Amino acid sequence: MEELLTGLEKLWSGFLGIVIFGVLIAVLFFIGSRFRGRLSRPAAILIFLGPAALLLVMGLIVPAIRTIFASTQDASGNEFVGWANYQWIFDSQFDIIVNSILWIVITPIAATALGLTLALLLDRMRREAVAKSFIFMPMAISFVGASIIWSLIYEYRAPDKPQVGLLSQIVMWLGVDDPPKWLLWQPFNNYLLMVIMVWIQVGFAMVVLSAAIKAIPSDVVEAAELDGATGWKLFSRVTIPMIRGTLIVVVTTIMFAVLKIFDIVRVMTNGNYGTQIVANEMYAQAFVQFDVGRGSALAVVLFVAVIPLIVFNVVQLRKDRATR
């Protein structure tokens, strides 16, 4: 009974929140509509852009500046140490950066290529929707959940004991007597972790690319076929250029997801056995070892690494729009 009451209370407060928000917006619109003539444009800009700009400044710009500042401080954030934190990253944490770059390069390309292949294959299949749903399903699983599932797959037991891990058992059925301890198997353990990310993202890539392929006008395909294009030629000369914009969006979206990725590594290995990446090390430094300086410096490195990707994304999309 009590739970029901608290549940109702929550529902009620949630409802109230929505109502208050709606009323606030209505009031804002009303105030905006009061301005006439010369003032109306600046007032509209202020009223409609103001809240967003304010939130952006509070939630993004101020923290970014503070983080950059904190990255030049020592562990407790009280003393200026200049470049020392960055020096530390590039001196002793270089393999972390290498791992992160591997993740950013390999995972999006693998997920997109696999997604594209599946989209093409399923395009001609009966019961396409069913197959697609199954491939899309991992997308609904959280990174932590997916990692726990895969840690069961990668689980190791001595070959003379009953096997618990699926991968070990399959490999043993295939005739390997002594499967490796998957998560300790350097440097391949990095790729085994990437498989999890690909597994999650491939459904997204497949669905979006499949939609793009279906959107290719049939007259274009027919014209190409009349000109004698078939198979690979049709694919590489017609399909790919026609879905280029979508491909770029898919690759960059997955890239951003990979940049933030930290759950998989944290759950599977916590960055041990040579699998550490920047985001997880950042968390460990800032919130486990309470070294705000190093944590911030790693955050800045991540931040800087995103910039070229965003630039690439924007430039490509502009180009795409220009050719249309």
Partner 1 sequence: MTAIKRRRGMALLAGGLAAGMLLAACGGSDDSASDSAGEETAAEDTAAEDSGGEEDAGGEEDAGGDMAAGCEAYADYMGNEGTTVNVFTSILPPEQQLFEEAWAGFEECTGIDIVYEASDQFEAQLPTRIAGGNAPDIAWIPQPGLLERLVADGGPVAAPAATEALVDEYWNPAWKGYGTVDGTFYAAPLGSNMKSFVWYSPQVFADNGYEVPTTWDELWALSDQMVADGIDPWCGGLESGGATGWPATDWLEQVMLRLYGGDVYDQWVSHELTFQSPEVEAAMDVVAGWMKNPEYVNGGFGDVQTIALTPFQDAGAGIPTGECGMLQQASFYANFWQNFDENATVGPDGTAYAFYLPEISSEFPQPVVGGGEFVAAFADRPEVQAVQTYMASPDFHTSKAALGNWVSANSGVPLDTYAADSIDQLSAEFLTDPNGIFRFDASDLMPAAVGAGEMWTQMTAWFAEDKPTAEVLADIDAAWPAS
Cis peptide bond upstream of 187, omega within 30: yes
The residue among 74, 90, 273, 301 whose CA lies nearest residue 193 is 273
Take residue 7 and report the two structure tokens written for it. 């549940």
Determine the Cα–Cα distance for residues 253 and 90; give it in Å rounded to an integer: 28
The answer to whether 116 and 205 are in contact (CB under 8 A) is yes
Question: Least distance in Å: CB of 63 to partner 1?
Answer: 15
* Using rule CB under 8 A, residue 75 touches partner 1: yes
Q: Which of residues 167-186 bind partner 1 (CB under 8 A)?
A: 181, 183-184, 186
Q: What is the CA radius of gyration of the chain?
A: 26
List 8, 11, 18, 20, residue binding partner 1 (CB under 8 A): 20
Which of 293, 237, 258, 280 lies closest to 73 in space, CA to CA? 293
Question: How would you classify residue 105: left for phi > 0, otherwise alpha for psi between -120 and 50, otherwise beta?
Answer: alpha
Amino acid code (one letter) for 282? M
In three-state secondary structure terms, 187 is coil
| Least gap, CB of 162 to partner 1 (angstroms) | 11
- CA gap 129, 287 in Å, rounded: 44
Tell whether residue 1 is a contact of partner 1 (CB under 8 A): no
Tell me whether residue 40 or residue 236 sits nearer to partner 1 (CB atom): 40
> DSSP character for 1?
-
Residues 187 and 274: beta-carbon distance below 8 Å: yes
Please give the DSSP secondary-structure letter assigned to residue 236: I
Q: Who contacts 215 (Cβ-Cβ below 8 Å, separation ≥6)?
A: none
Task: Tell me which stretch binds partner 1 (CB under 8 A): 157-165, 190-198, 240-248, 316-324.
Answer: 157-165
- At closest approach, how far in Å is the CB of 223 from partner 1? 56
Query: Tokens 């497949």 sit at which residue?
Result: 206
Q: How far apart are CB 273 and partner 1 at their closest, in Å?
A: 5
Nearer to partner 1, 34 or 318 (CB): 34
Q: What x/- string results for residues 207 through 246 when contact with partner 1 is judged by CB under 8 A?
A: ----------------------------------------
Select the residue interacting with partner 1 from 156, 167, 204, 253 (CB under 8 A): 156
Among 6, 142, 236, 289, binds partner 1 (CB under 8 A): 289
Place of tokens 């999890």: 196
Contact with partner 1 (CB under 8 A): which of 267, 277, 278, 297? 267
**CB closer to partner 1, 40 vs 272:** 272
Taking CB under 8 A as the binding criterion, the range among 62-70, 205-213, 271-279, 313-321 that sits at the site for partner 1 is 271-279
Name the segment binding partner 1 (CB under 8 A); options: 39-47, 50-58, 211-219, 264-272.
Answer: 264-272
Structure tokens at 275: 């699998």
Of these, 26, 56, 58, 137, which contacts partner 1 (CB under 8 A)? Answer: 26
| 40 interacts with partner 1 by CB under 8 A | no
Minimum CB separation from partner 1 for residue 245, in Å?
40
Tokens of 31: 């105030």
Among 16, 49, 56, 240, binds partner 1 (CB under 8 A): 16
Q: For 262, list phi and psi in degrees, rounded to 5.
A: -155, -30
Interface residues toward partner 1, by CB under 8 A = 13, 16, 19-20, 23-24, 26-27, 30, 33, 75, 156-158, 161, 181, 183-184, 186, 266-267, 269-274, 284-285, 287-291
